[in-house]
Amino acid sequence: MRFFTRLLLSVLFCTCASAGAAPASEDGYDLWLRYRALPAAEAARLAPHARAIVAPATTSPMLDAAIGELQRGVGGWLGTAPARTDEVRAGAIVLAMPATRGATAAWFDGLGQEGYRVLRTRLEGQSVTVIAANTDRGLLYGSFAYLRGIATDGAQKAPDLRSTPRLPLRLLNHWDDLNRHVERGYAGASIWHWWNLPDILDQRYTDYARANASLGINGAVLNNVNAKPDILTAPFIAKAAALANVLRPYGIKVYLSVRWSTPLELKATATADPLDPAVAAWWRAKSDELYAAIPDFGGFLVKANSEGQPGPHDYHRSHAEGANMLARAVAPHGGIVMWRAFVYSEDKPTDRARQAFDQFTPLDGQFDKNVIVQVKNGPIDFQPREPVHPLFGAMPRTPLLMEFQITKEYLGFSTHLAYLGTMFEETLRTDLRPGIGAGGQAATVTRVLDGTLDHGQATGMAGVANIGTDRNWSGSHFDQANWYVFGRLAWNPEAGAEAIAREWAAQTFSRAPRVVDTVSAMMMASREAVVDYMTPLGLHHVMGTGHHHGPAPWVDNLARPDWNPVYYHRADKAGIGFDRTAHGKGGSGSAGQYAPALARLYEDPASTPENLLLWFHHLPWTYTTRSGRPLWDELVHRYDAGVTAVAAMQKQWDSLAPYIDPQRHADTAQRLKVQHREALWWRDASIAYFQSINGLPLPAGARAPAQSLDDYKALKFPYPPGNG
């Protein structure tokens, strides 16, 4: 079809849509890269500036990917994809590298290896849109940025963008098993079809890569941290290599999780002792084999001596000795080892929240250069709210990588709407040395990651993926936003959760201000709502055993004390909360693991942020909170606030029915209904339980739980997703 005929059709279509017809149904597969026909006025603005794509003559897979995406995007919006040419002409999009004829040197200033500049300018006398970068990777990211700009702004303004990533490692961690089960996955099976690989390549692999490249995500750990030895056998290396070939044109490197005892279990060695020369030789040879198959292989992720996984401690060797042995195997190839700090001991009676710090800080300075210690955002385990992990800022001679969980293991799976941008941002912005940076730059967690705090090496962020075979990738439409915000913050940790929510909403649903305002308002309030109805005031780990679905604060019979909710909330007749103040005051001492200025805040209930009160303090039920309400009344108030906030989200979403396509609107409405029911359940079961402990009357006006405590305790959930 000729361009103008198509344009006319799209004009007609868009006029109908704005005249009141409901938007056409969508299943969410396209994520935020939807490229639907633009309304006439916008198409008319864009068309004269997107007539062709001028690209360097030398081609590369990444350059082809960039051009392919520009053609897909502009083609979707205008009806005709701009052709590729090597001649500069008026109205073209020019992909420029420093060698491009007529290019201005200043375009490339400070862009490094990954940055880009997008601007409207003149080249060889013609008015063009330039996407400039020093590398084809930069051109790929610049092309996606150009498309995002139009998708969010409707081609209102001439593009003028410049960006470089703040962090070099922007990684997804897939907790995907080789049988396609996804640990803590709530979006179907693993997208990696290991059985069919390497011969059969699913289109999803390419679309996954496109989505990641659009955010700047540049690495994927393919398999679960609870790894099997099989991943390092020749057949699985060939499968991983096939995936690497699909992901490479989109700038994504492949990494693998490895099980410490692999050579022993594959019967190649008699031990897994890192200091045994045969063990080190096996890992060297295995690394050589991996790099022969995947020349740009990224490296290993290791969960060792954690939750029953084997590790160097089994041979009385330290984490550093273990990590360094692996690091030396991949170092000749430029690989890295990401060694997880998620450890807590089976036989130590000390507070679980302090154990990683106790084990790792003595090792600061002992790790090889290509080892990065990967630390969860908080000291327990991805709770709806945790204080920052005390290791950040405490290992100045060791590069630390942030681990966030995008999949919502503890925040309502993919049923509850909880935008994690605010949670990620809260961690990244935490000032590790409050007061000390006064007048200067605060000592934020971001600055640990970018290496400026202790003048170390810039690292990055890893996000435990929420991606699966569900048609919409993430289980719910709103969970796509958590993948999105992770990627955008990994590129720029200071980009702002709200700004990111708005750009996601505009691309995913509609640019209409009413939609963007309402959707982003829902998102911005959503995580706090979950905290309120699940774990207010610093409570944590009170979820159902194993699957972590629903409230179970009463559980006290699990093998290890620190698996039991009662261990964490410590409620008794007199009070509630975990005393983590100094030993001398009777606490576990974990508040003292923070730098002195932060530790001082956390030592005193009066200066502890109220949203972490019961994380750090055991307080009487009568303790006066900042609202003036006694602690018990405040707790009930928070549970109620959480439920009310979900009801408000339902109303907000209902109001958008005319603007959102029926399929995605109905799916989200159903989920919000379940969320409201489950928020009430959390509230009622928690209140029923704590009331059974403290024997206090409910605050005036508070509604009694709908059922008895025994009813809540009796609930069972066979076959929960993501577990086992």
Please identify every residue annotated as catalytic.
307, 381, 409
Nearer residue to ligand GCU within complex by CB, 332 or 546? 546
Nearer residue to ligand GCU within complex by CB, 378 or 456? 378
The contacts of residue 374 (CB under 8 Å, 6+ apart) are 301, 338, 339, 340, 341, 400, 401, 402, 403, 462
Binding mask 291-310 for ligand GCU (x = CB under 6 A): ------------x---x---
Q: How far is the CB of 203 from ligand GCU (least distance, A)?
A: 29
- For 230, other C-beta atoms within 10 Å of its C-beta total 15
What type of residue sits at position 75?
G
The contacts of residue 25 (CB under 8 Å, 6+ apart) are 661, 662, 663, 664
Q: How many CA atoms lie within 13 A of 601 on its CB side?
A: 17
Q: CA 184, CA 547: separation in Å to the nearest integer?
A: 8
Q: CA 297, CA 578: separation in Å to the nearest integer?
A: 44
The contacts of residue 562 (CB under 8 Å, 6+ apart) are 344, 352
Nearer residue to ligand GCU within complex by CB, 286 or 541? 541
- DSSP-derived letter for residue 718 is -
Please report the beta strands in 58-135, taking only residues with DSSP state E, as ranges in sequence order: 83-85, 92-96, 116-123, 126-132
If one asks whether residue 528 binds ligand GCU (CB under 6 A), the answer comes out as no
If one asks whether residue 184 binds ligand GCU (CB under 6 A), the answer comes out as yes
Q: How far is the CB of 182 from ligand GCU (least distance, A)?
A: 10
If one asks whether residue 126 binds ligand GCU (CB under 6 A), the answer comes out as no
Nearer residue to ligand GCU within complex by CB, 225 or 660? 225
Q: How far is the CB of 556 from ligand GCU (least distance, A)?
A: 19
- For 368, other C-beta atoms within 10 Å of its C-beta total 15
Nearer residue to ligand GCU within complex by CB, 307 or 604? 307
Out of 225, 329, 614, 643, the residue judged to bind ligand GCU by CB under 6 A? 225
Q: How far is the CB of 548 from ligand GCU (least distance, A)?
A: 7
Q: CA 547, CA 718: separation in Å to the nearest integer?
A: 10
If one asks whether residue 319 binds ligand GCU (CB under 6 A), the answer comes out as no
Q: CA 518, CA 533: separation in Å to the nearest integer?
A: 22
Out of 32, 107, 186, 342, the residue judged to bind ligand GCU by CB under 6 A? 342
Nearer residue to ligand GCU within complex by CB, 100 or 377? 377
If one asks whether residue 402 binds ligand GCU (CB under 6 A), the answer comes out as no
Q: How far is the CB of 225 from ligand GCU (least distance, A)?
A: 5
Q: How far is the CB of 386 from ligand GCU (least distance, A)?
A: 13
Nearer residue to ligand GCU within complex by CB, 63 or 222? 222
Element (H or E) spanning 71, and its range? helix 61-78
3-state helix vs strand vs coil in the chain, percent to 5: 45, 10, 45
Q: How far is the CB of 352 from ligand GCU (least distance, A)?
A: 11
Angle between helix axes 203-215 and 480-491 (nearest 10 degrees) is 50
Could you give the 3-state DSSP secondary structure of residue 300? Answer: strand
Of residues 443, 429, 343, 427, the one with CA closest to residue 393: 443
Nearer residue to ligand GCU within complex by CB, 49 or 303? 303
Nearer residue to ligand GCU within complex by CB, 183 or 351? 183
- DSSP-derived letter for residue 38 is P
Nearer residue to ligand GCU within complex by CB, 307 or 556? 307
Q: CA 685, CA 703: separation in Å to the nearest integer?
A: 12
- Of 372-391, binders to ligand GCU (CB under 6 A) are 381
Angle between helix axes 136-153 and 61-78 (nearest 10 degrees) is 20
411-414, long-range: CB within 8 Å, 24+ apart, which pairs? 411/384, 411/527, 411/530, 411/534, 412/530, 412/534, 412/675, 412/678, 413/186, 413/475, 413/549, 413/721, 413/722, 414/186, 414/187, 414/466, 414/474, 414/475, 414/476, 414/479, 414/671
- CA angle (528 as vertex; 523, 532 as ends), nearest 5: 140
Of residues 534, 527, 544, 480, the one with CA closest to residue 722: 544
Q: How far is the CB of 461 from ligand GCU (least distance, A)?
A: 15
Q: How far is the CB of 53 from ligand GCU (least distance, A)?
A: 43
The structure tokens 């939807």 sit at 34
If one asks whether residue 183 binds ligand GCU (CB under 6 A), the answer comes out as yes
If one asks whether residue 226 binds ligand GCU (CB under 6 A), the answer comes out as yes
Q: How far is the CB of 482 from ligand GCU (least distance, A)?
A: 17
Q: CA 637, CA 553: separation in Å to the nearest integer?
A: 18
- How many amino acids of this chain bind ligand GCU (CB under 6 A)? 9
Binding mask 493-512 for ligand GCU (x = CB under 6 A): --------------------
Q: What residues make contact with ligand GCU under the rule CB under 6 A?
A: 183-184, 225-226, 303, 307, 342, 381, 409
